[in-house]
Structure 1
Amino acid sequence: MANGQSFLDKFAEVSAKIGNQVHLRSLRDGFATIMPVFILAGIAALLNNVVFKGLWSTDPASLGWFPNADLLATAQYWGNALSQGALSISAILLCGMVGYSLATNKRFDNPISCVVVSLAVFFIMMPQSVTANLAASSPLLTDEVTTAEVTSAFITNYTGTNGMFTAIIIGLLAPTLFIKVSSVDQLRIKMPEGVPPAVEKSFNVLIPMLISLGAFGLVSMILFAGFQTDITALINTWIQTPLRALTTNPAGLVFIYSLGVFLFTLGIHQSTINGVLVEPVLTIVLVEAMEVYTTGGIDAVIARPDLYLNMNVINVYALMGGSGCTLALLIATFIWGKWQPSKEIAKLGILPSIFNINEPVIYGYPIVFNIPLMVPFVLNTALGILLSYGATVIGLVNPTCIQVPWTTPIIASGFLSTGGDWRAAVLQVVLLALFVVIYLPFMKASETAQRKQFEMSE
């Protein structure tokens, strides 16, 4: 037992160090900062594709009070503006916020300068000419040139969802170099007393900023002159594609996420693993699904099976009531539980669990080191992923494509995240009922074990 406990203590210590590693923590902080922007973009897309289209029609006879189609286009302009303002610059937002988070986590005295460096490097590393699509002047001119090389322009393939991996890497690397160079005292320009603090800070980082930007400009030049490529193309080929293939593969996702959830049963928060390895990638896939939904509607998302496994699949189906779908455990306890301490914890934990917050259950029921409950805690998470993915693949429910807050209660989260598909809400209820059944025998075994422990302690 001592050896086992020693192993768990060491494992917990290593996991905590990984979870608190400054670059990984900064990545999580950066995503958390811009998450409201993505949620707003999801709401705008939902309004455009469901609410506005449901209220307006091109046929005035369909509704007696119905306005014309021009009003629909005007209303959708509002939604498109919000979506474009968020999704088309998502990589820019992420790059700046990751850089700022890294600076604050490293306690750098001028974090705003790290935002400047991150964004400047992000654009420095972009190609200086891009291929633009041109609309034919007439449908009859089928052989007319439809593309052209454009200079002094940026395209959303780099500033939007496709550039988010680049934004992550640059947002971590550029400030790291800048902070390192800034620590060299000889490179700081000393200003006399009485100079405003903002001016003093800008001169202090002048030379380190020039060195950092120049270094990345040199890398950009080498990639172009030597290999006719750019950093985003390299990252998409060597990092983004393999990583997405791993985490958006059902077997790979279930294995990694189940490992993180299992750690929670040992008292190690699941975000230590999942928040680092899984959630950033799945969030990027979800943002891309929102972009596809915004431009082409739900049919366009259905036509992209590579977008089916995204962060909403976890939040909507696999974490109902929080990690391990413990809302099902509380329901089973209310209906069939006999052990009064467990029922009291269930009363305290039911309201937070409705909003997918279950720390009171994890540590109060408890789930941690409760051997009987470890099995359904991990199993239900895996089943939530696999069954919802299977239902999406065979067309029983729409893919999740709208980012909703992770605290959104079930039924509402299923309906909203799938673009208003009521079948997703029904699937949530069916899965919850299944999870209750799975928890039931293990809950009874847990009560028996706790009762015996209580009797032995008297």
Structure 2
Amino acid sequence: MNTLIKWLEKTVVPVAAKIGSIRWLVALRDAFITTMPATMAGSIAVLLNALLRDIPTQAGWTGFVSAMQPIIGVNGQVWTATLAVYGLIFAFTWGYNLAKQYAVDPLAGGIVTLGAFLMGLSQSAAATLTLGNALGGKAAAELTKAGAVIADKTVTINAWGYFNFGAQFGSGGLFTAMILGAIAATVYIWFMKKKITIKMPDSVPAAVANAFTAIIPALVGLYVVGILTYAWTQVFNGEVFIDWVNKTIQGPLLHLSQGYGAVLLLTLLVQLFWFFGIHGTNVLGPVLDSIWLTAQLDNINRFQQGEAVQYLWTRSAFDMYAWIGGAGSTLLLLIAIFIFSKRADERAVAKLAIAPGIFQINEPVMFGLPIVLSPIYFIPFILAPVVMVTIAYWVIQFGWVSPIKVQTVWVMPPFINSFLATGFDWRAPVLQLVNMVVGFFIWAPFVIAANKIQPDQLEGGQA
């Protein structure tokens, strides 16, 4: 066991440390975290509408739904300003956090990446009207001349000056925001670092001076993206950049994320990083959020609009079914310690760690027990989440439990989080309970074995 741990320490830790120190990935992780106020507000709105509209409608309570229309309408407004435009919000936080990483004006950085994102979107919308009678004669000729497409009783008009709100402002715009924002931010940061800026006298107020300092870097960054996106539409016969990104990058990645292999690999990597004391969920946060959170937001928006959800495995599924109490499902370890452990040191740590563990915070047990670099707990720490994620993945694939369609706070306790996140599917807490039992029985034999080992033998891989 020591040989395996030493080998992993030699090969895995340097890679994880390197990933965790890449400023672009740190900025990407923080950009998603910064959007939390918007995602939670939008998710509460979706949850409330599920309670006030969707479930009562299914039950036939039309009178109740009619009475709740003002509240339902307000919730719709909140959703419109948050999750429906999540890509727009992220486009700003992406540039803001990138600029912070390089110690340049973050507000200007956010503005630059927001503008770059908008340049990659379609700027016209098609509206289709169904007429009572087929058009003909002069009316049809004039509409056709204006660019309308007439087919029997339908008239389709393509009007400039409209963004495709539903398809591009939400989660569908995330990868476009990342790519174009990265290009614009690179130029902006480079010019700022090279001090190719307008220098104002010291007597000018700081707010005014900062604004003038960012003018040239922002101007160049936006023009670079403007030239690229304009040239793109010219070369590819009017196809806007976001359509290409969604077709060739975002779509395939989201499809790949739904495979068992991708889910299992991500779970395993998070566990390995954590075992060596590296915050695996933070290090791999850019992957988790850019792929599985994108899928989750798509589900939430579809659920809000009464559509069938598209993705079965999403970001919160890891927390609810594989990492109960934190990475490694350490809440189950704490329960096993209370039942089986005869070690005073383990029981003392468990008493302190149980309350945070219920709310998905496991640093006290990870570093206090410790689990980090403890050979006796290496196997269950890796095995329990792998087995649990496998059970949950296939149960959801077979349609026995609903996929996640509502965002919940990650610190929400088990059972409550899955019940709310799945749109009140009672089978989700049952799945959590099954996984908790399985995880508990994986941890228990190692807790019993630890009774025979002295406390100092569990530290730093000395057993």
Question: Do the aligned residues in 2 keep the contact of 1:94 with 1:164 (CA within 8 Å)?
Answer: yes
2:146 corresponds in structure 1 to none
8 Å Cα contact 1:324/1:380 also seen in 2: yes
Letter of the 1:119 counterpart: L
Whether 2:342 is the aligned partner of 1:338: answer yes
Residue number among 218, 221, 226 corresponding to 1:212 in the alignment:
221
Measured after TM superposition, the shift of residue 363 of structure 1 is: 1.4
Matching of residue 226 in structure 1 with residue 220 in structure 2 = no
Distance 2:58 2:388 in 1: 38
Aligned match for 1:71, one of 60, 67, 71: 67
Find the counterpart in structure 2 of residue 102 from structure 1.
Answer: 98
Query: Does structure 2 conserve the Cα–Cα contact (< 8 Å) formed by 1:356 and 1:408?
Result: yes
- 1:261 maps to 271
Q: Determine the C-alpha separation between the residues in 2 that align with 1:320 and 1:147.
A: 51
2:428 maps to what in 1? 424
Aligned AA (2:247): T
Where does residue 130 of structure 2 map in the other structure?
136
From 145, 152, 158, give the equivalent of 2:161.
152
| Aligned pair partner of 1:384 in 373, 376, 388 | 388
Q: Residue 359 of structure 1: CA displacement?
A: 0.8
> What does residue 203 of structure 2 align with?
194
Q: Figure out how many residues of one structure are paired with residues of the other and give that number.
A: 441
Q: 1:170 aligns with which of 166, 173, 180?
A: 180
Deviation at 1:272, TM superposition (A): 5.1
Paired with 1:277 and 1:94, the residues of 2 have a C-alpha distance of: 15
Could you tell me how far 1:58 is from its partner in structure 2? Answer: 9.5
| Residue 43 (str. 1) matches residue 47 (str. 2) | no
Q: Residue 2 and residue 371 in structure 1: after superposition, are their counterparts in 2 closer, same or farther (change >3 A)?
A: closer
Aligned to 1:329: 333
Whether 1:252 and 2:252 are equivalent positions in the alignment is no
Distance 1:202-1:254 versus aligned 2 partners, 3 A rule: same
Cα distance in 2, alignment partners of residues 49 and 286 from structure 1: 17
Kindly indicate whether the alpha-carbon contact (under 8 Å) linking 1:58 and 1:68 is maintained by their aligned counterparts in 2: no
Q: After TM superposition, list the pairs within 5 Å mapping 1:294-305 onto structure 2.
A: 294-296=304-306, 300-301=308-309, 304=310
Superposed counterparts of 1:19-38, under 5 Å: 19-38=20-39
Structure 2 residue corresponding to 1:398, chosen from 395, 402, 408? 402
Per the normalisation by structure 1, the TM-score is 0.88
Question: Structure 1: how far apart are the matches of 2:13 and 2:59?
Answer: 61
Further displaced range: 310-319 or 259-268: 259-268
**Structure 1 residues 295, 140: closer, same or farther in 2, change over 3 A?**
farther
Cα deviation for residue 273 of structure 1 reads 4.4
| Residue pairs, 1:113-124, within 5 angstroms | 113-124=108-119
Spell out, residue by residue over 1:393-442, the C-alpha distance to the aligned partner (whole angstroms, 9 max, x if none): 22322111111011000010111111111221122122111111111112
Runs (4+) of structure 1 moved beyond 6 Å? Answer: 1-4, 56-59, 139-142
**Aligned-partner residue type, residue 148 of structure 1:** I
Hey, what's the Cα distance between the residues in 1 that align with 2:284 and 2:157? 43
What CA deviation, in whole Å up to 9, does each residue of 1:158-181 have, x standing for no partner? 211111111122333312211112
CA distance 1:58–1:12, shift in 2 (3 Å): closer
After superposition, residues 265-414 of structure 1 pair within 5 angstroms as 265-271=275-281, 273-296=283-306, 300-301=308-309, 304=310, 307-414=311-418
Q: 1:175 to 1:373 in 2, by over 3 A?
A: same
Q: CA deviation at 1:105?
A: 1.4
What are structure 1's unaligned runs of at least 5 residues? none
Q: d(CA) in 2 for partners of 1:290 and 1:417?
A: 9
Contact kept? 1:57, 1:68, Cα under 8 Å: no
Distance 1:324 1:383 in 2: 11
> % of aligned pairs identical?
30
- Displacement of 1:75 in angstroms is 2.4
Structure-1 separation of matches of 2:71 and 2:160: 34
Alpha carbons 1:324, 1:378 under 8 Å: kept: yes
154-163 vs 375-384, which moves further: 375-384
Counterpart among 77, 86, 89 of residue 90 in structure 1: 86
**In structure 2, how many angstroms separate the alpha carbons of the residues matched to 1:207 and 1:14?**
37
Q: Which amino acid aligns with 1:151?
A: W
Higher mean displacement: 258-267 or 218-227 = 258-267
Quote the offset at 1:247 in angstroms. Answer: 2.4
- CA distance 1:227–1:73, change in 2 (3 Å): same
Work out the CA distance in 2 between the residues paired with 1:328 and 1:146: 61
| Residues 99 and 106, structure 2, Cα contact 8 Å, conserved in 1 | yes
In structure 1, C-alpha distance between the alignment counterparts of 2:110 and 2:67, rounded to whole Å:
40
Instruction: Tell me, in whole angstroms, the C-alpha distance in 1 between the residues paired with 2:248 and 2:192.
Output: 31
Give the root-mean-square deviation of aligned CA atoms. 2.7
CA distance in 1, matches of 2:229, 2:369: 55
Q: Compared with structure 1, are the counterparts of its residues 4 and 89 closer, same or farther at alpha carbon in structure 2 (3 Å cutoff)?
A: closer
Secondary structure class of the residue paired with 1:150: strand
Q: Give the distance between the partners of 1:87 and 1:18, measured in 2 at CA.
A: 29
**Would the aligned equivalents of 1:124 and 1:216 in 2 still touch at CA under 8 Å?**
yes
Letter in 2 for 1:391: V
What is the identity, as a one-letter code, of the residue corresponding to 1:208? P
Structure 1 residues 219 and 315, CA gap change in structure 2 (3 angstroms): same
Measured against aligned partners, the alpha-carbon deviations of 1:24-75 in whole angstroms (never above 9, x if no partner) come to: 001111100112211221221121122445567997xx7xxx9565323322
Distance of 1:384 and 1:396 partners within structure 2: 16
TM-score normalised per structure 2:
0.87
What corresponds to 1:126 in structure 2?
121
Deviation at 1:21, TM superposition (A): 0.9
User: Secondary structure at the residue paired with 1:387?
Assistant: helix
Please report how far the alpha carbon of residue 138 of structure 1 lies from its aligned counterpart in structure 2 after TM superposition: 5.2
Preserved CA contact (<8 Å) 1:257 1:278? no
After superposition, the C-alpha distances for 1:131-167 in whole angstroms (9 at most, x for unaligned) are: x243525599994336432211111222111111111
